[in-house]
Amino acid sequence: MESSSDIKITVFGKTDVGLIREHNEDNFLLANVETGLRTSSPEENLQFTLGPKGAIFLVCDGMGGAAAGEVASTMAVDSISMDVETRAATTRERYARGLRRAIENANEKINLQSRINQNERGMGTTCTAAGLVDRTLLVGQIGDSRCYVLRAGKLVQVTKDQSLAWQLIEAGAMTVEEAKSFEHANIILQALGVQEKVDVVLSHVLLCRGDVVLLSSDGLHGPVADEEMCDILLAEPDPKRACEVLIAKALEREGPDNISVVVARFEGDGLPEAEEGAELGFTVFDPGADPDDPEPPKRAYPPTEKITEEVPIHLDAIESTSPGALPTTLVSPTASTPSTNTDIHAAEEKASRPFLTFVLVTLLAALGGALFLAFQQTSLPDLPSTPSPTAATPAPTPPAPAPKNPDSAPAQNPR
């Protein structure tokens, strides 16, 4: 791995709500992992030397209506950056695997949040994350936010949009210009939080001295052509000024969407001069497998439609779980939610076993008692009734007196 001690970075980021939307659901992040510096609202350019733990820049375009898209993009930025920052200095292959895991973990957290909160059902976000541990820029992507590299006067897109329009362009069914007016241009094939699993696409670029990296949401590269963005970056070498002019250009085009831009310039003796004739483009990066750094087991979730309401669990149960099992944004002062839906079903199953056993024993006892009584009634002989010892015995009736005159005795009815 090349030394990063002489790679100088100047970076700035900016976001704007645009002229149509009521809420800004975009988010971005600039982070120098070595020093722990991270910000989503810089006032000036950040300048630093790349350290062994690297740097990472993110752009996320949220979706879901109301404030749900903002929640999703914020969760993605926070989750990915924290995962990357906890990793020690490493090789670019391990860094790439860690970046992929960080994006997958963010997807799980957003998906879980959308399941347990009715108001955030269906929320999601795109994500384009550019990480650097040496001169290799590693890009992880979900959705249609983009990464460009400006080199030798040419701006080249080094990611592929995960969208329906992009697939049609690659299939030759549509041109880039036609795609801009395509009625389904906003349909994307992947987003963090919408599905239980995502397929993170990793690509890479070997940076050269003087390269400029641009990350953008479709609020910029939708209304502003690549040629116009290239002209602005060439005319504005200062990243902060470049961001401001790029957003102003999008607003000139009626700013139909939220706009987010990150511009980073790379200099220093740790980077080689650009070779003439070398072409830039989308290049997949395969980090391979490492037996000493195994992939974590995937969590299994039940289908979305089976989760119909939030299940409160006492806060003590949450605090006793392992760190990282639950995002802090899910914990409230009065009720907490489980780390996975598997935990919910396990807890319910465990709690229901004693109750089911009690019901079964009760039913068997009742059935046995009924059978015993029925047997007793059919097997015992009938007993004569005996007067109660406390009952009063009636006095015997005295015999009728004999008539004095036998001839006057009443006649007897014949039988």
pLDDT digits (tens, 9 = 90+) for 380-413: 455 444 444 444 444 444 444 444 333 433 333 3
Q: What is the pLDDT of residues 143-153, one digit of tens each?
A: 999 999 999 99
Is it the case that residue 292 has pLDDT exceeding 80? no
Q: How far apart are the first and last CA of the chain?
A: 134
Angle at 26 between CA 249 and CA 174, to 5 degrees: 65
The CA distance from 58 to 35, in Å, is: 17
The mean pLDDT value for 61-69 works out to 83
List the 146-151 sheet strands across, edge first.
Answer: 46-49, 8-16, 259-267, 212-216, 146-151, 154-157
Closest listed residue to residue 134, CA positions, set 33, 54, 31, 35: 54
145 phi-psi bin (left φ>0, alpha ψ -120 to 50, beta other): beta
Beta bridge partners of 146: 216
Helix (H) or strand (E) holding 77: helix 68-85
Q: Give the closest residue to 203 by CA, choosing from 145, 263, 160.
A: 160
Residues 293-304: pLDDT tens digits?
666 555 544 433
Whether residue 274 has pLDDT greater than 80: yes
* 81, 58 Cβ separation under 8 angstroms: yes
312 Cβ contact partners less than 8 Å away, ≥ 6 residues apart:
335, 336, 337
The tens digit of pLDDT for each residue in 47-64 reads 999 999 999 999 999 998
- Name the maximum alpha-carbon separation found in the chain: 164
The tokens 């019901």 sit on which residue? 359
Neighbour-count burial of 60, counting CB atoms closer than 10 A to its CB (0-12 exposed, 13-18 middle, 19+ buried)? buried
Q: Which of 145, 168, 171, 169 is nearest to 158 (CA)?
A: 145
Q: Does residue 212 contact residue 150 with C-beta atoms inside 8 Å?
A: yes
- The CATH architecture assigned to 8-267 reads 4-Layer Sandwich (3.60)
Q: Which amino acid is at 401?
A: P
The DSSP output letter for 396 is P
What 3-state class would DSSP assign to 344?
helix
Would you state the pLDDT for residue 354? 56
Token representation of residue 374: 């029925």
Tens of pLDDT, residues 332-367: 333 333 333 444 344 444 444 555 566 666 777 777
Give the mean pLDDT of the chain: 79
The CA distance from 269 to 319, in Å, is 49
Share of residues in the chain with pLDDT > 70 (%): 69
Per-residue tokens: 144:
């249609």
Residue 182 CA to residue 350 CA, distance in Å, equals 53
Helix then strand then coil, in percent of the chain rounded to 5, is 35, 20, 45
For the entire predicted model, the pTM comes to 0.71
Are 23 and 224 spatial neighbours (Cβ–Cβ below 8 Å)?
no
Say which amino acid occupies 228. Answer: E
Reduce the DSSP state of residue 256 to 3 states and report it. coil
Check pLDDT > 70 for residue 191.
yes
pLDDT digits (tens, 9 = 90+) for 235-245: 999 999 999 99
Query: For tokens 């479709």, what's the residue?
Result: 218
Distances (CA, A) of 375 to 314, 369, 384: 51, 10, 20
Domain boundaries, the chain: 8-267, 310-368
Residue with more model confidence, 362 or 231? 231
